[in-house]
Structure 1
């Protein structure tokens, strides 16, 4: 039974020697941990101190500690005494009497990361709102004082205040949007959407912005593309966010290419589920690969100053990630410094059952 436990469990004799370690514990610390001093395996002083205190007759204790290798993980260790009756104890914990320590370890890495993300989120949101608010208050005080009768300064200050107000409005809208998406993330959409039509609409909406920097928006889509299972409004938000990001960061006089295509994943022994991919490629400066795993975190920016200057809230890719998760799709990011970046979304195709086979539905097929 102990072997089957998901959490690592270790039994420790009164001389601090490990007498038993279950499969999860051996997988974490190695097969050769039994009949050795606990300190040879776990060198955390707080944990060892808790074991010694409980062994000396103290009450159960709980200790958090971190294992740094191979990947940093945080554990909650519960140290409990099991005092056996009888007079046959020999002081080593091996006899009929004596005390053994039951040490269980619960991996709380995900919880700690979630707590840190929440703390970072609150800190970043507060900072993002505090800065434009301070700017607004500063200009309001100036307009009420020295610049009250200066028409030129008044117009300039009002323009800055307007831009700061728009920045706060974008941030609040993105925060509300992200909260709603996360609330619905466990509910898979059941409607069908025409990704080609959504892409055409997103490209048309951003053509003027792209043209102001002589950026050409190119849409590559087959004549017949399978429909996808999805929420049309949310998928519009995905493509608009990705295309808008690409326009912001690509070089002037280049192009942003949006490519749609049907995808059939490798089967792996089961009938493959048809998918549809949407890729947005820019010709910007590219992103160092060390940043790629964190790009979809809230408020994470490779270049914070540049992002704010371009009007970014730091939430666009987080919104994309959560929408894609809700659609049971995948988001991949490829980038090469000096060449550009490609963001690809894979979404399940809407299918009908035809004699046991999954047949993708196209925009022209019957519902």
Structure 2
């Protein structure tokens, strides 16, 4: 195959391709490989370009033995690490013998695999504690506390709380799974957001009264409707308002307000904002960027005492992704927290 034809063929391959000749010199790079490794690499010894021991060993062994080998290549920059699956394949014969190294970006696959492993580990950890407690109480009730009525009532109350905790966790896991399944399906119905928030607050008022918390809704000015799933938006507002009452109850007040935004730079267009403000202890800034991670808790002990599963804000994030919206979190220690839901205003005529 002549040089022009070879270069043309390699240019049509979307993966980065590097050809190394029998003298261990780089003979050809296609455009994706040039973007990965830089210009003017042809003619250089591959050791000076591919500097990681794993790929050097892989290429060397393929050149010497003439068999296909596979390895990993990691490319780092200032913001992220990209993982490539590298396949080294012997090509050509005699004077034209060499190795073709192809680089497949498997970062998303590796990341998804790690997320699944972390998710299983977290779920196992979250379930282990209440299950261990239940088993211990059952053994105690069958043994030393068999005839102790006071201990039995106390243990049964604790067992009920632990069982409810597991039930909440399972329900949140099912909800998260459903939300993730629907995340790419855009809502098509117009929703009156203040009416949804009012219905959520009405259902949560008994909880506010039990905690001696003033729950206020500041009447909005004329607010445009948005494209949304009513049930999922209720879930978002329920989660945020309930969290504000639980974790900000020391402030004794939760305020919900509405606003319109002419242009949100992240949503790249006009939006409406629904802000849930509490006046409690606030959240340390080191936690804020991680609050929507699954099972992440700024105060693990307090969250478990209040019945939190660590999944609520992750569910909120996925619902807002489906709605092309976002969650903005602001907090200062001692001054409370503000969680703002930003939803894009629909184009004129949408949902009709």
Q: 2: CA distance between counterparts of 1:79 and 1:196?
A: 60
TM-score under structure 2 length normalisation: 0.87
Aligned residues: 342
C-alpha displacement at 1:213, in angstroms? Answer: 4.6
Partner of 1:88: none
Partner of 1:178: 176
- Native 8 Å contact 1:229 1:327 kept in 2: yes
- Native 8 Å contact 2:264 2:271 kept in 1: no
Q: 1: CA distance between counterparts of 2:122 and 2:143?
A: 32
Q: 2: CA distance between counterparts of 1:337 and 1:287?
A: 6
C-alpha displacement at 1:169, in angstroms? Answer: 0.9
C-alpha displacement at 1:3, in angstroms? Answer: 4.3
Return the match for 2:90 from 81, 85, 101. 81
The answer as to 2:242 corresponding to 1:234 is: no
Q: 2: CA distance between counterparts of 1:168 and 1:198?
A: 29
TM-score under structure 1 length normalisation: 0.84
Between stretches 285-294 and 150-159, larger displacement belongs to 285-294
Return the match for 2:310 from 314, 319, 340. 314
Partner of 1:300: 296
Q: Give the secondary-structure state (helix, strand or coil) at the position aligned to 1:276.
A: strand
- Native 8 Å contact 2:86 2:104 kept in 1: yes
Q: 2: CA distance between counterparts of 1:285 and 1:60?
A: 60
The answer as to 2:349 corresponding to 1:347 is: no
Partner of 1:324: 320
Give CA-to-partner distance per residue, 1:11-59, whole Å, 9 cap, x none: 2222322233333333333334333222223222111111001111332
Give CA-to-partner distance per residue, 1:74-111, whole Å, 9 cap, x none: 111111121145xxxxxxxxxxx232221121121111
Q: 1: CA distance between counterparts of 2:134 and 2:157?
A: 11
- Native 8 Å contact 1:80 1:102 kept in 2: yes
Q: Give the secondary-structure state (helix, strand or coil) at the position aligned to 1:318.
A: helix
Partner of 1:164: 162
Unaligned runs of 5+ in 2: 1-7
| Root-mean-square deviation (Å) | 2.6
The answer as to 2:63 corresponding to 1:67 is: no
Between stretches 254-263 and 166-175, larger displacement belongs to 254-263
Return the match for 1:7 from 15, 22, 26. 15
Unaligned runs of 5+ in 1: 86-96, 362-366
The answer as to 2:260 corresponding to 1:252 is: no
Q: 2: CA distance between counterparts of 1:334 and 1:194?
A: 25
Q: 1: CA distance between counterparts of 2:40 and 2:247?
A: 53
Q: Give the secondary-structure state (helix, strand or coil) at the position aligned to 2:250.
A: coil
Q: Give the secondary-structure state (helix, strand or coil) at the position aligned to 1:294.
A: coil
- Native 8 Å contact 1:213 1:252 kept in 2: no
The answer as to 2:33 corresponding to 1:17 is: no
C-alpha displacement at 1:115, in angstroms? Answer: 0.8
